[in-house]
């Protein structure tokens, strides 16, 4: 319904694994976002892409590596994660270029568990 | 620092009315959003307020007072499907969204 899909929906990985999260938006939007959502905490903005260029990186550890090959796709590459990285990772998109007062539309998220 | 406050959890009865409050302290203001998030699902947009006053949209209404740094979401004729978390978020002067931790609303029959 939201037009933003994420895969996988659930992921369990060890601390030495490498995995990738995928997000795709079918809304023709220009900006895409990665958020981390932990229980009872506010959404944490991780990365923002506008027209495929990264415009914001909120001091995210280097074990998280984003990639935006085009305006419809966004990846989050994960390596050597820590147990405290276990959370729901949400992708969102918006029509306006990042920096506008525009509604963000979210995907269903990937529930990540790091063992 | 920037801060959004909303109650952690609220309980209400089916058919009743509930008001979820949100207070904010941010560097600048370019609007306030309310989102609904069912467990395990995507947050979905409910409302956007940038001017003072009440915006009504069906059973849901959202109110804003910029001078008080205050908003509320009003849900009428509560239904069981309204059980969800409600997220308040403010656009600051840099157009960055500052999020509250969300209010979990539990509806009882």
Nearest chain A Cα distance for residue B106, angstroms? 15
Tell me the DSSP string of A15-77. Answer: TT-EEEEEEEE-S--SEEEEEEE-TTS--EEEEEEETTEEEEE-S--TTEEEEEEETTEEEEE
Mean of pLDDT over chain B: 95
Q: What is the pLDDT of residue A58?
A: 77
Listed range (A18-32, A46-60, A75-89, B6-20) with the worst mean pLDDT: A46-60
Contact between chains at B41 and A108 (C-beta distance less than 8 A): yes
CB pairs under 8 A between A and B: 50
Q: What is the pLDDT of residue B104?
A: 97
Does position A96 have pLDDT exceeding 90, yes or no?
Answer: no
Closest CB from B43, B50, B94 relative to A106: B43
Q: What is the pLDDT of residue A72?
A: 94
Mean pLDDT within A36-58: 88
pLDDT digits (tens, 9 = 90+) for B50-82: 999 999 999 999 999 999 999 999 999 999 999
Q: Is B87 in CB contact (< 8 Å) with chain A?
A: yes
Chain B residues within an 8 Å CB radius of A57: none
Listed range (A28-37, A45-54, A67-76, B66-75) with the worst mean pLDDT: A45-54
């Amino acid at each position: 319904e939201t037009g933003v899909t994420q895969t996988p929906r659930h992921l369990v990985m060890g601390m030495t694994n490498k995995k990738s999260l995928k997000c795709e938006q079918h809304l023709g939007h220009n900006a895409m976002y990665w958020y981390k959502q932990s229980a009872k905490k506010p959404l944490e903005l991780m990365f923002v892409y506008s027209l495929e260029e990264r415009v914001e990186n909120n001091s995210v550890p280097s074990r998280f590596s984003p990639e935006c090959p085009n305006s419809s796709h966004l990846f989050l590459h994960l390596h050597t994660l820590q147990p405290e990285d276990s959370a729901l990772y949400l992708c969102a998109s918006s029509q306006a270029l990042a920096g506008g007062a525009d509604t963000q539309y979210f995907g269903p998220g990937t529930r990540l568990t790091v063992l | 620092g920037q801060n959004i406050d909303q109650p952690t959890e609220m309980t209400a009865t089916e058919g009743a009315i509930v008001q979820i409050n949100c207070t904010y302290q941010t560097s600048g203001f370019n609007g306030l959003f309310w989102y609904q998030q069912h467990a395990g699902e995507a947050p979905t947009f409910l409302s956007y307020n940038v001017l003072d006053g009440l915006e009504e949209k069906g059973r849901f209404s959202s109110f804003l007072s910029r001078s008080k740094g205050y908003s509320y979401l009003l849900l009428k004729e509560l239904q069981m499907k309204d059980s969800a978390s409600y997220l308040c978020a403010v656009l600051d002067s840099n157009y960055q969204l500052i999020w509250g931790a969300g209010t979990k609303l539990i509806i009882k029959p």
